[in-house]
Amino acid sequence: MDVIKIKGSDDTPNVILDAENNIIEFSGRSLPEDVVTFYAPVIQWIEEYAKSPNLKTTVIFRLEYFNTASSKILLDILLKFEDIMKEGHEILIHWYYQEDDEDMQEAGEEYSEIVDIPFEMYSY
- Contact, 16 vs 24, CB < 8 A? yes
Query: What pLDDT sits at residue 32?
Result: 97
Query: What pLDDT sits at residue 17?
Result: 98
Mean pLDDT by runs of 10 across the 124 residues of the chain is 96 98 97 97 98 97 98 98 97 98 98 98 97
Query: What pLDDT sits at residue 53?
Result: 97
Residue 78: CB partners within 8 Å, gap ≥ 6?
Answer: 93, 111, 114, 115, 117
Q: What is the DSSP string of 38-73?
A: HHHHHHHHHHHHHHS--SEEEEEEEEEEE-HHHHHH
Query: What pLDDT sits at residue 66?
Result: 98
Report the sign of the C-alpha dihedral through residues 95, 101, 106, 107, in that order.
negative
Report the sign of the C-alpha dihedral through residues 45, 122, 30, 73, in that order.
positive
Query: What pLDDT sits at residue 35?
Result: 97
Query: What pLDDT sits at residue 52?
Result: 97
Element (H, E) at 117: none
Element (H, E) at 37: helix 35-51
Query: What pLDDT sits at residue 124?
Result: 94
Element (H, E) at 27: strand 23-30
> For residue 83, what are the β-bridge partners?
none
Query: pTM (2 decimals)?
Result: 0.96
